[in-house]
Amino acid sequence: MINYTRNKDLYKSLSREDNFSDRLTLFLLHFSFFLKNFKNEENKIILQEIYDFNFRQLELSIREIGYGDQSINKKMKDYINLFHSMVSEIHFWESFDKSEKLKKFSVFLIDFGNIDHLLDYFEEFNEKLSKKTLNSYLKSVSNP
């Protein structure tokens, strides 16, 4: 998912240089779609492990940036709340029309200008996810 987030085209509607927060927001959107597509009873344990790993790595990244312990706790709470609101907003993604989807995205992508291309990108990403199994993504991670 980090590789998806590094796609420079995702940042073309940003009127400034991208920063950690922008990259994290797009990562969390990718992760939200990932969980939405693979969430079921069979995948419950592995998805929880992936979730825990991602947020542990996020905390380490925040520490590397140089935030203090109090700031880290606040940042982590903010990022976890942001992520859970993303998951909530895209839960019924397929039932939304384009304008509803744009409205939902605009809540998370405040600093981005025209987000139509991001909507198209995530529609395609969501479709790709729906055509693969969780195991195919896990194997691609362990065997590059």
CA atoms within 13 A on the CB side of 48: 6
Q: List, in order, residues 6 or more apart from 90 with CB less than 8 Å away.
A: 32, 33, 36, 104
Note the pLDDT of residue 15.
83
Asked if the model's pLDDT at residue 140 lies above 70, the reply is no
How sure is the predictor about 102, in pLDDT bands with cuts at 50, 70 and 90?
A: very high
Classify residue 9: in a domain, yes or no.
Answer: no
Note the pLDDT of residue 124.
96
Q: Which neighbouring-strand residues pair with 14?
A: 112
Classify residue 81: in a domain, yes or no.
Answer: yes
Of the listed ranges 8-17, 61-70, 84-93, 129-138, the least confidently predicted one is 61-70
pLDDT per residue as tens digits for the range 26-78: 999 999 999 999 999 999 999 999 999 999 999 998 888 888 888 888 989 99
Distance CA 63, CA 23 (A): 17
Note the pLDDT of residue 142.
40
Classify residue 10: in a domain, yes or no.
Answer: no
Distance CA 76, CA 89 (A): 20
Classify residue 106: in a domain, yes or no.
Answer: yes
Asked if the model's pLDDT at residue 137 lies above 90, the reply is no
Classify residue 114: in a domain, yes or no.
Answer: yes
Asked if the model's pLDDT at residue 141 lies above 70, the reply is no
Whether the CB-CB separation of 37 and 129 falls below 8 Å is answered with yes
Classify residue 98: in a domain, yes or no.
Answer: yes
Classify residue 6: in a domain, yes or no.
Answer: no
Assign 3-class secondary structure to 53-95: HHHHHHHHHHHHHCCCHHHHHHHHHHHHHHHHHHHHHHCCHHH
Structure token pair of residue 47: 């998805």
Q: Across the chain, what does the average pLDDT equal?
A: 91
Max Cα-Cα span within the chain: 43
DSSP, res 43: G
Query: Rg of the chain's alpha carbons, rounded to an integer?
Result: 15
How sure is the predictor about 139, in pLDDT bands with cuts at 50, 70 and 90?
A: confident
Tally of domains in the chain: 1
CA atoms within 13 A on the CB side of 23: 15
Range of the domain at 77: 17-142
Classify residue 8: in a domain, yes or no.
Answer: no
